[in-house]
Protein backbone atom coordinates (compact mmCIF):
# COMPACT_ATOMS: atom_id res chain seq x y z
CA UNK A 1 0.00 0.00 0.00
CA UNK A 2 2.80 2.38 0.97
CA UNK A 3 4.57 1.26 -2.19
CA UNK A 4 1.57 2.09 -4.39
CA UNK A 5 1.14 5.44 -2.62
CA UNK A 6 4.78 6.24 -3.40
CA UNK A 7 4.15 5.32 -7.06
CA UNK A 8 1.12 7.63 -7.17
CA UNK A 9 3.21 10.50 -5.76
CA UNK A 10 5.96 9.65 -8.26
CA UNK A 11 3.43 9.91 -11.08
CA UNK A 12 2.71 13.49 -10.00
CA UNK A 13 6.43 14.26 -9.79
CA UNK A 14 6.83 12.93 -13.36
CA UNK A 15 4.08 15.29 -14.57
CA UNK A 16 6.08 18.22 -13.15
CA UNK A 17 9.38 16.81 -14.47
CA UNK A 18 7.93 16.42 -17.95
CA UNK A 19 6.61 20.01 -17.95
CA UNK A 20 9.95 21.32 -16.69
CA UNK A 21 11.93 19.51 -19.42
CA UNK A 22 9.44 20.44 -22.16
CA UNK A 23 9.56 24.05 -20.94
CA UNK A 24 13.34 24.06 -21.26
CA UNK A 25 13.10 22.66 -24.81
CA UNK A 26 10.56 25.39 -25.66
CA UNK A 27 13.04 28.03 -24.46
CA UNK A 28 15.43 26.93 -27.22
CA UNK A 29 12.83 26.09 -29.85
CA UNK A 30 9.12 26.89 -29.54
CA UNK A 31 6.20 25.70 -27.44
CA UNK A 32 4.70 23.85 -30.42
CA UNK A 33 7.99 22.15 -31.30
CA UNK A 34 8.41 21.00 -27.69
CA UNK A 35 4.87 19.59 -27.82
CA UNK A 36 5.74 17.72 -31.04
CA UNK A 37 8.85 16.10 -29.55
CA UNK A 38 6.96 15.28 -26.35
CA UNK A 39 4.40 13.33 -28.37
CA UNK A 40 6.82 11.66 -30.78
CA UNK A 41 9.31 10.51 -28.11
CA UNK A 42 6.40 9.42 -25.91
CA UNK A 43 4.92 7.47 -28.84
CA UNK A 44 8.23 5.65 -29.46
CA UNK A 45 8.55 4.87 -25.75
CA UNK A 46 4.98 3.50 -25.44
CA UNK A 47 5.35 1.49 -28.66
CA UNK A 48 8.51 -0.18 -27.30
CA UNK A 49 6.85 -0.82 -23.93
CA UNK A 50 3.73 -2.26 -25.61
CA UNK A 51 5.93 -4.52 -27.76
CA UNK A 52 7.74 -5.73 -24.63
CA UNK A 53 4.58 -6.38 -22.59
CA UNK A 54 2.14 -7.12 -25.41
CA UNK A 55 -1.62 -6.56 -25.51
CA UNK A 56 -1.69 -3.19 -27.26
CA UNK A 57 -4.81 -4.07 -29.24
CA UNK A 58 -6.46 -6.18 -26.53
CA UNK A 59 -10.14 -5.61 -25.80
CA UNK A 60 -12.43 -3.98 -28.34
CA UNK A 61 -10.72 -0.69 -29.22
CA UNK A 62 -12.65 -0.46 -32.51
CA UNK A 63 -15.91 -0.26 -30.55
CA UNK A 64 -15.04 3.01 -28.79
CA UNK A 65 -16.92 6.12 -29.92
CA UNK A 66 -15.17 8.29 -32.55
CA UNK A 67 -14.82 11.31 -30.24
CA UNK A 68 -12.67 9.29 -27.82
CA UNK A 69 -9.91 9.57 -30.45
CA UNK A 70 -9.74 13.36 -30.07
CA UNK A 71 -7.49 13.26 -27.00
CA UNK A 72 -4.31 13.53 -29.10
CA UNK A 73 -4.89 16.92 -30.76
CA UNK A 74 -6.24 18.32 -27.47
CA UNK A 75 -3.07 17.07 -25.74
CA UNK A 76 -0.90 18.87 -28.30
CA UNK A 77 -2.41 22.21 -27.30
CA UNK A 78 -2.24 21.26 -23.60
CA UNK A 79 1.49 20.40 -23.68
CA UNK A 80 2.31 23.47 -25.79
CA UNK A 81 0.44 25.69 -23.31
CA UNK A 82 2.32 24.18 -20.34
CA UNK A 83 5.70 24.61 -22.07
CA UNK A 84 4.88 28.22 -22.88
CA UNK A 85 3.57 29.06 -19.41
CA UNK A 86 6.20 27.45 -17.20
CA UNK A 87 9.03 29.72 -18.38
CA UNK A 88 6.81 32.79 -17.87
CA UNK A 89 4.94 32.31 -14.59
CA UNK A 90 6.95 29.50 -13.00
CA UNK A 91 6.30 25.81 -12.35
CA UNK A 92 4.20 26.22 -9.19
CA UNK A 93 1.85 28.86 -10.67
CA UNK A 94 1.46 26.84 -13.84
CA UNK A 95 0.69 23.66 -11.90
CA UNK A 96 -1.77 25.33 -9.52
CA UNK A 97 -3.73 27.15 -12.23
CA UNK A 98 -3.91 24.04 -14.42
CA UNK A 99 -5.13 22.01 -11.43
CA UNK A 100 -7.71 24.73 -10.66
CA UNK A 101 -8.95 24.65 -14.26
CA UNK A 102 -9.02 20.86 -14.30
CA UNK A 103 -10.97 20.57 -11.04
CA UNK A 104 -13.58 23.21 -11.88
CA UNK A 105 -14.11 22.02 -15.46
CA UNK A 106 -14.25 18.46 -14.10
CA UNK A 107 -17.14 19.43 -11.83
CA UNK A 108 -18.88 21.19 -14.73
CA UNK A 109 -18.35 18.14 -16.99
CA UNK A 110 -19.68 15.81 -14.27
CA UNK A 111 -22.81 17.96 -13.94
CA UNK A 112 -23.30 18.06 -17.73
CA UNK A 113 -22.79 14.30 -18.03
CA UNK A 114 -25.11 13.73 -15.08
CA UNK A 115 -22.53 11.98 -12.88
CA UNK A 116 -23.82 11.60 -9.31
CA UNK A 117 -22.13 13.92 -6.86
CA UNK A 118 -22.43 15.82 -3.62
CA UNK A 119 -23.49 19.41 -4.48
CA UNK A 120 -22.33 20.80 -1.12
CA UNK A 121 -18.82 19.32 -1.33
CA UNK A 122 -18.54 20.38 -4.98
CA UNK A 123 -19.59 23.96 -4.10
CA UNK A 124 -17.18 24.24 -1.16
CA UNK A 125 -14.34 22.80 -3.26
CA UNK A 126 -14.96 25.15 -6.18
CA UNK A 127 -15.28 28.12 -3.80
CA UNK A 128 -11.91 27.32 -2.16
CA UNK A 129 -10.24 26.96 -5.57
CA UNK A 130 -11.70 30.28 -6.77
CA UNK A 131 -10.46 31.90 -3.54
CA UNK A 132 -7.00 30.48 -4.21
CA UNK A 133 -7.05 31.91 -7.73
CA UNK A 134 -8.25 35.26 -6.37
CA UNK A 135 -5.21 35.39 -4.07
CA UNK A 136 -2.80 35.19 -7.03
CA UNK A 137 -4.99 37.19 -9.41
CA UNK A 138 -3.10 39.36 -11.87
CA UNK A 139 -2.76 42.91 -10.61
CA UNK A 140 -0.32 45.65 -11.48
CA UNK A 141 2.30 46.94 -9.07
CA UNK A 142 1.71 44.25 -6.51
CA UNK A 143 4.23 43.25 -3.81
CA UNK B 1 18.97 32.84 -15.52
CA UNK B 2 18.73 36.18 -13.77
CA UNK B 3 15.23 37.14 -14.76
CA UNK B 4 12.74 35.75 -12.26
CA UNK B 5 9.31 34.74 -13.48
CA UNK B 6 6.67 37.45 -13.14
CA UNK B 7 3.32 37.33 -11.42
CA UNK B 8 0.86 35.98 -13.98
CA UNK B 9 -0.83 38.42 -16.33
CA UNK B 10 -4.45 37.93 -17.20
CA UNK B 11 -3.71 36.04 -20.41
CA UNK B 12 -1.33 33.69 -18.58
CA UNK B 13 -4.05 33.14 -16.02
CA UNK B 14 -6.67 32.42 -18.68
CA UNK B 15 -4.33 30.15 -20.66
CA UNK B 16 -3.39 28.03 -17.63
CA UNK B 17 -7.00 27.76 -16.46
CA UNK B 18 -8.09 26.89 -20.00
CA UNK B 19 -5.33 24.27 -20.23
CA UNK B 20 -6.80 22.67 -17.10
CA UNK B 21 -10.11 22.48 -18.95
CA UNK B 22 -8.38 20.77 -21.88
CA UNK B 23 -6.91 18.28 -19.41
CA UNK B 24 -10.42 17.36 -18.24
CA UNK B 25 -11.40 16.67 -21.85
CA UNK B 26 -8.25 14.55 -22.35
CA UNK B 27 -9.08 12.51 -19.24
CA UNK B 28 -12.61 11.95 -20.59
CA UNK B 29 -11.46 11.02 -24.13
CA UNK B 30 -8.49 8.84 -23.14
CA UNK B 31 -10.43 7.26 -20.28
CA UNK B 32 -13.17 6.29 -22.72
CA UNK B 33 -10.55 4.67 -24.99
CA UNK B 34 -9.27 2.73 -21.96
CA UNK B 35 -12.79 1.48 -21.26
CA UNK B 36 -12.86 -0.25 -24.68
CA UNK B 37 -9.18 -1.03 -25.33
CA UNK B 38 -6.04 -1.67 -23.29
CA UNK B 39 -4.33 0.95 -21.12
CA UNK B 40 -1.42 0.95 -23.60
CA UNK B 41 -3.89 1.63 -26.40
CA UNK B 42 -5.45 4.53 -24.47
CA UNK B 43 -2.03 6.20 -24.25
CA UNK B 44 -0.65 5.06 -27.62
CA UNK B 45 -3.52 6.51 -29.70
CA UNK B 46 -3.37 10.10 -28.34
CA UNK B 47 0.43 10.08 -28.70
CA UNK B 48 0.13 8.88 -32.32
CA UNK B 49 -2.62 11.33 -33.36
CA UNK B 50 -0.93 14.04 -31.27
CA UNK B 51 2.37 13.58 -33.12
CA UNK B 52 0.58 13.94 -36.46
CA UNK B 53 -1.44 16.96 -35.27
CA UNK B 54 1.67 18.68 -33.80
CA UNK B 55 3.63 18.08 -37.02
CA UNK B 56 0.77 19.54 -39.09
CA UNK B 57 0.58 22.58 -36.80
CA UNK B 58 4.37 23.05 -36.99
CA UNK B 59 4.30 22.96 -40.81
CA UNK B 60 1.32 25.31 -40.89
CA UNK B 61 2.40 27.83 -38.24
CA UNK B 62 6.18 27.59 -38.77
CA UNK B 63 7.02 29.09 -35.33
CA UNK B 64 10.42 30.78 -35.12
CA UNK B 65 13.09 28.95 -33.17
CA UNK B 66 13.97 30.94 -30.07
CA UNK B 67 17.69 30.09 -30.29
CA UNK B 68 20.02 29.09 -33.11
CA UNK B 69 22.03 26.84 -30.77
CA UNK B 70 20.72 23.28 -30.56
CA UNK B 71 19.30 22.54 -27.10
CA UNK B 72 20.90 19.70 -25.09
CA UNK B 73 19.68 16.23 -26.08
CA UNK B 74 18.05 15.55 -22.70
CA UNK B 75 15.53 18.33 -23.34
CA UNK B 76 13.90 16.03 -25.91
CA UNK B 77 13.09 13.41 -23.27
CA UNK B 78 10.07 15.10 -21.62
CA UNK B 79 7.79 12.67 -23.47
CA UNK B 80 9.32 9.64 -21.72
CA UNK B 81 8.40 11.11 -18.36
CA UNK B 82 4.89 11.83 -19.60
CA UNK B 83 4.42 8.31 -20.98
CA UNK B 84 5.67 6.77 -17.72
CA UNK B 85 3.07 8.82 -15.84
CA UNK B 86 0.25 7.13 -17.74
CA UNK B 87 1.60 3.67 -16.91
CA UNK B 88 2.09 4.48 -13.22
CA UNK B 89 -1.37 5.97 -12.75
CA UNK B 90 -2.92 3.04 -14.60
CA UNK B 91 -1.14 0.70 -12.17
CA UNK B 92 -2.12 2.50 -8.94
CA UNK B 93 -5.72 3.21 -10.03
CA UNK B 94 -6.55 -0.47 -9.63
CA UNK B 95 -5.19 -0.78 -6.08
CA UNK B 96 -6.79 0.27 -2.78
CA UNK B 97 -5.80 3.85 -3.67
CA UNK B 98 -8.49 3.91 -6.38
CA UNK B 99 -8.87 6.86 -8.72
CA UNK B 100 -9.38 9.48 -5.99
CA UNK B 101 -6.29 8.45 -4.03
CA UNK B 102 -4.23 8.27 -7.22
CA UNK B 103 -5.30 11.77 -8.27
CA UNK B 104 -4.82 13.26 -4.78
CA UNK B 105 -1.34 11.81 -4.26
CA UNK B 106 -0.35 12.71 -7.83
CA UNK B 107 -1.50 16.25 -7.16
CA UNK B 108 0.68 16.36 -4.03
CA UNK B 109 3.71 15.07 -5.96
CA UNK B 110 3.17 17.60 -8.72
CA UNK B 111 2.79 20.57 -6.35
CA UNK B 112 5.83 19.67 -4.22
CA UNK B 113 8.00 19.05 -7.28
CA UNK B 114 6.96 22.31 -8.95
CA UNK B 115 7.76 24.30 -5.77
CA UNK B 116 11.18 22.63 -5.57
CA UNK B 117 11.74 23.21 -9.30
CA UNK B 118 10.92 26.93 -8.93
CA UNK B 119 13.12 27.41 -5.87
CA UNK B 120 16.09 25.72 -7.54
CA UNK B 121 15.44 26.81 -11.12
CA UNK B 122 15.67 23.16 -12.18
CA UNK B 123 16.62 22.18 -15.75
CA UNK B 124 17.64 25.67 -16.80
CA UNK B 125 14.26 27.34 -16.28
CA UNK B 126 13.98 30.69 -14.42
CA UNK B 127 14.36 30.53 -10.64
CA UNK B 128 11.41 31.83 -8.62
CA UNK B 129 11.06 32.08 -4.85
CA UNK B 130 7.41 31.47 -3.92
CA UNK B 131 5.94 34.23 -1.72
CA UNK B 132 3.29 34.19 1.01
CA UNK B 133 0.53 34.71 -1.56
CA UNK B 134 1.77 31.73 -3.55
CA UNK B 135 1.69 29.42 -0.53
CA UNK B 136 -1.76 30.70 0.50
CA UNK B 137 -3.11 30.22 -3.01
CA UNK B 138 -1.54 26.78 -3.15
CA UNK B 139 -3.12 25.77 0.17
CA UNK B 140 -6.58 26.98 -0.91
CA UNK B 141 -6.48 25.32 -4.33
CA UNK B 142 -5.13 22.06 -2.86
CA UNK B 143 -7.79 22.02 -0.11
CA UNK B 144 -10.57 22.70 -2.63
CA UNK B 145 -9.26 19.98 -4.95
CA UNK B 146 -9.06 17.40 -2.15
CA UNK B 147 -12.64 18.15 -1.07
CA UNK B 148 -13.87 17.66 -4.65
CA UNK B 149 -11.81 14.48 -5.09
CA UNK B 150 -12.82 12.77 -1.83
CA UNK B 151 -16.30 14.19 -1.09
CA UNK B 152 -17.57 15.59 -4.40
CA UNK B 153 -18.11 12.29 -6.18
CA UNK B 154 -20.63 10.25 -4.23
CA UNK B 155 -24.07 11.62 -3.47
In A, residues 94-113, which contact B (CB 8 Å cutoff)?
94-107, 109-110
Chain A residues whose beta carbon lies within 8 Å of the beta carbon of residue B77? 21, 41
Higher pLDDT, B97 or A91: A91
Tell me: the pLDDT tens digits for A65-123? 999 999 999 999 999 999 999 999 999 999 999 999 999 998 998 888 888 888 899 99
Task: Determine the Cα–Cα distance for residues A15 and B99; give it in Å rounded to an integer.
Answer: 17
Chain A residues whose beta carbon lies within 8 Å of the beta carbon of residue B121? none
| B68 contacts: CB under 8 Å, gap ≥ 6 | none
Q: Do A95 and B111 touch (CB under 8 A)?
A: yes
Q: Does the pLDDT of residue B141 top 60, yes or no?
A: yes
Tell me: the pLDDT tens digits for B31-75? 888 889 888 899 999 999 999 999 999 999 988 888 788 899 999
**Of residues B89, B74, B4, the one with CA closest to residue B43:** B89
Chain A residues whose beta carbon lies within 8 Å of the beta carbon of residue B16? 81, 85, 89, 93-94, 97-98, 101
Tell me: the pLDDT tens digits for A47-61? 999 999 888 888 888
Chain A residues whose beta carbon lies within 8 Å of the beta carbon of residue B84? 11, 14, 45
Q: How far is A48 from chain B (nearest CA, A)?
A: 11
Amino acid sequence: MIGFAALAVLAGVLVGLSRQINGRLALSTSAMESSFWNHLIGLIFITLAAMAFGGLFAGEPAASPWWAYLGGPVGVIFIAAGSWLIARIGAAQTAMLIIAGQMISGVVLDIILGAPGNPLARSIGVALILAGMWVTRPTRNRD
Amino acid sequence: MTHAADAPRFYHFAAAFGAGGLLSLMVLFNGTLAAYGSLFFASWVPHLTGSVAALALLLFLRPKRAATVRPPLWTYLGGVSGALTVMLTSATMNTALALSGTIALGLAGQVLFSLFADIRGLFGLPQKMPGTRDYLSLALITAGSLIIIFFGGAA
